Structure formats: structure tokens, C-alpha cells
């Protein structure tokens, strides 16, 4: 396991003269779950769009296993804020899409995803359409489509933001269990500090625009975790400290 599978070094990015990313340096190790929290509009999604190479940085470098990202074979699976399921495709075909885009036939892709429906809490809904599922189920289907691509890293852009609080907590518990089983390398963008503490090994806190990393936290909670662990003194202390950093960055 390398300790820096993905690394951003001194990345800056402006849009039409608006400096969004000031000087961002961060890394994600193989098998690590890392979150980025920061004020709205600070450029968190921009970080992910740089990693997917939908955007190019103005300066700085992006590395994959120590080599320039843009010249090194890799595959990152991106899950956007909205579930982005195709309304006209059945859930099984939405899930299979992650494989179809890699050139696998629909029949073979279906056969690969079908056994996973049980573990994703979607058994019995294979032939339903997205509009027939709850918000939480749709996000699990979108996550299934994302993880099935056997990628190097999952990029999750505020994936649970649209869910109600209870559904969100349920899906966080489920994702935590799944992550403990699979140890995906993941980079999560979230506004929810508790979510970041619950799911992450490490958390980067960004400043307001132009964003830089103000602090980095290591979450000391053992795995597997349960929601009850969020009540522990260690979890509470880190949550408070992150909120304090977000609310009063000048004092940290
Ligand atoms: N393609 C673009 N062209 C111009 N401005 C952009 C573009 N993409 C992002 N921006 C601007 O960059 C800033 C940061 O956007 P970004 O979506 O990365 O922030 P964010 O931290 O993810 O925000 P939020 O937490 O609200 O989702 C915003 O002011 C946005 O308007």
C-alpha cells in the first residue's frame, strides 16, 4: 500500500479571474477513505472535476502513484450529487451501465451486477424504474453502478445531500459497513461534518475561496464503526474541532 496513491500538489484554479482554489495540496492512500469539508462555494467539487480531468489546473501537479496523473493509466469512478440514474432504464440496467460504458455487453453486465442487489438492499427491485424507488434506494443503485467499475478510486460528490436525515443516517451506516468489507479508496465531498467523521480515516478542511487546506484531521475511531460511536468523546471532540475550524478559521 502506497501512502500517496493520489496526490495534489499546490493546485490552483481560477474561473474568469475568480480564484477558486488557492493552493491545494492533499493526498489519498490506497484503501483510505478521505473526506473534504469546506464552506459552500469553496471549490470542493472543482477538486473532483480536476481529478476526473474534466478541468485542468492553472498550476500545480496531480500525481497517481507518484507519476503525473494525466500520463498514468488509472480509472476513477465518479458519483455526482444527484443520483443521475437514467429514468428510462430499469435499475438493473442503470447499475449495469457502469460496465457497459467499459465495453461489456448488457447481458454480461447484468449477470455481474445481479448478485450484488441483495447486499445493496435492492433485491426484488431489479426490474423497477428509478421513479419507483425511494431516494435512499436510488442512491444505493447509483453507488452500485459506481463501485462495480472496479476503479482505483471512488470520487463521491455530496452523494447523500438530497436525502432526509434518517435515510441519510441509514445509508451512512450501510456505506460504512460496505467500506469496511471492501476497503475502497475513496474521496468524499460533504457538508456534513458528522458524516465525514463517521466514514473517514482522514478529513481535510478547506478555507473559503480561494481555498486552501486549513487543517487535516485523522479520525481515531476503530473499525467497524456504528452510529453509536459518534457519541464517544473522541468522535465528539473531533466533530467540535472541525466545526470550530470551519466557523472560526482565523483562530485555528
Ligand atoms: N466551470 C465554471 N465556470 C465558472 N465558474 C465556476 C465553474 N465551476 C465552478 N465555478 C465557480 O467556482 C466556485 C466553486 O465551485 P464548486 O462547485 O467547486 O464549489 P463547492 O465547494 O463544491 O460548492 P458547494 O459546497 O456549494 O457545492 C463557485 O463560485 C462556482 O460558481
70 & 21 share domain? yes
Nearest residue (by CA) to ligand 1, atom 28, is 41
CA of residue 212 to ligand 1 center, whole Å: 15
The Cα–Cα gap between 227 and 133 comes to: 25
User: Residue 101 domain-assigned?
Assistant: yes
Query: Which of 13, 17, 18, 20 maximizes ligand 1 atoms within 8 Å of its Cβ, making it the mutation to test the pocket?
Result: 20
Instruction: Tell me: pLDDT of 228 over 70.
Output: yes
Last residue of a domain, one of 120, 150, 180: 150
The closest-lying atom of ligand 1 relative to the alpha carbon of residue 49 is: 18
Which residue is closest in CA terms to ligand 1's atom 26?
Answer: 40
227 occurs within a structural domain: yes
Do 135 and 166 sit in the same domain of this protein?
no
Do 99 and 156 lie in one domain? The reply is no
Q: Beta strands 67-68 and 76-79: pairing type?
A: unpaired
Q: Which atom of ligand 1 is nearest to the CA of 47?
A: 18
Domain identity same for 47 and 104: no
Q: What percent of the chain has pLDDT over 90?
A: 63
Distance of CA 48 to the CA centre of its chain: 9
Provide the CATH number for the domain around residue 178.
3.40.50.300
Q: What is the predicted pLDDT for the residue at 230?
A: 92
Q: What is the mean pLDDT of residues 244-252?
A: 85
Q: What are the angstrom distances between the C-alpha of 167 and each of 7, 61, 175?
A: 33, 38, 12
Indicate whether residue 15 lines ligand 1 (CB < 6 A): yes
Nearest CA to ligand 1 atom 5: 15
Same domain membership, residue 140 and residue 99: yes
Q: Which of 178, 105, 123, 169 is nearest to 146 (CA)?
A: 178
Q: CA 29 to CA 54: how far, in whole Å? A: 22
Q: What percent of the chain has pLDDT over 70?
A: 98
Check pLDDT > 90 for residue 22: yes
Rounded mean pLDDT, 19-38:
96
Residue to mutate (ligand 1; options 8, 11, 15, 82; most atoms within 8 A of CB): 15
Residue range 196-222: mean pLDDT, rounded: 95
**Looking at residue 175, what is its pLDDT?**
87
Same domain membership, residue 33 and residue 128: no
Residue 83 predicted with pLDDT over 80:
no
Tell me, yes or no, whether 62 and 162 share the same domain: yes
* Domain assignment present for 1: no
Residue 1: what pLDDT? Answer: 44
The ipTM of this complex is: 0.94
Domain containing 144 equals: 85-150
Task: Mark whether 27 and 92 lie in a shared domain.
Answer: no
The answer to whether position 111 is within a domain reads yes
pLDDT of 199 > 70? The answer is yes
Return the minimum-mean-pLDDT range out of 110-114, 220-224, 247-251.
247-251
**What per-residue confidence (pLDDT) applies to 159?**
86
Domain end call among 125, 150, 175: 150
User: How big is the chain, counted in residues?
Assistant: 252
Rounded Cα distance between 97 and 48, Å, is 21
17 in contact with ligand 1, CB cutoff 6 A: no
pLDDT of residue 84: 79
> Do 24 and 145 have their domain in common?
no
Cβ of residue 40 lying under 6 Å from some atom of ligand 1: yes
Please name the residues in contact with 74: beta carbons below 8 A apart, sequence gap of 6 or more.
64, 152, 153
Q: At 252, is the pLDDT very low, low, confident or very high (cuts 50, 70, 90)?
A: low
- Domain total for the chain? 2
List the beta bridge partners of residue 93: none
Q: Closest Cα partner for 46 from 26, 74, 66, 73?
A: 26
167 or 90, higher pLDDT: 90
In a shared domain, residues 69 and 117: no
Ligand 1 contacts CB of residue 44 (under 6 A)? yes
Residues 178 and 218 in one domain: yes
Q: Is residue 108 part of a domain?
A: yes
Regarding whether 145 and 171 lie in a shared domain, the answer is no
The protein residue whose alpha carbon is closest to atom 6 in ligand 1 is: 15
Amino acid at each position: 500500500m502506497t501512502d500517496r496513491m493520489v496526490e495534489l500538489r499546490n493546485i490552483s484554479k481560477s474561473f474568469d479571474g475568480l480564484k477558486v482554489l488557492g493552493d491545494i495540496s492533499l493526498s489519498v492512500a490506497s484503501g483510505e477513505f478521505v473526506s473534504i469539508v469546506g464552506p459552500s462555494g469553496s471549490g470542493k467539487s472543482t477538486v473532483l472535476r480536476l481529478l476526473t480531468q474534466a478541468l485542468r489546473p492553472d498550476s500545480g501537479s496531480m500525481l497517481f502513484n507518484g507519476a503525473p496523473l494525466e500520463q498514468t493509466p488509472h480509472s476513477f469512478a465518479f458519483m455526482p450529487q444527484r443520483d443521475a440514474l437514467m429514468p428510462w432504464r430499469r435499475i438493473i440496467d442503470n447499475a449495469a451501465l457502469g460496465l457497459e460504458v467499459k465495453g461489456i455487453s448488457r447481458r454480461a453486465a447484468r449477470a455481474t451486477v445481479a448478485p450484488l442487489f441483495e447486499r445493496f438492499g435492492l433485491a426484488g427491485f431489479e426490474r423497477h424504474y428509478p421513479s419507483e424507488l425511494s431516494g435512499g434506494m436510488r442512491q444505493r443503485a447509483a453507488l452500485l453502478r459506481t463501485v462495480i467499475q472496479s476503479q482505483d478510486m471512488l470520487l463521491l460528490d455530496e452523494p447523500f445531500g438530497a436525502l432526509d436525515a434518517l435515510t441519510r443516517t441509514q445509508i451512512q451506516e450501510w456505506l460504512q459497513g460496505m467500506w469496511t468489507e471492501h476497503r475502497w479508496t475513496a474521496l468524499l465531498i460533504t457538508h456534513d461534518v458528522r458524516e465525514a467523521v463517521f466514514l473517514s480515516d482522514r478529513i481535510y478542511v478547506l478555507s473559503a475561496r480561494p481555498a486552501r487546506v486549513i487543517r487535516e484531521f485523522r479520525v481515531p475511531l476503530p473499525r467497524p464503526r456504528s452510529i453509536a460511536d459518534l457519541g464517544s468523546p473522541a468522535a465528539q471532540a473531533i466533530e467540535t474541532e472541525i466545526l470550530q475550524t470551519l466557523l472560526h478559521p482565523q483562530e485555528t
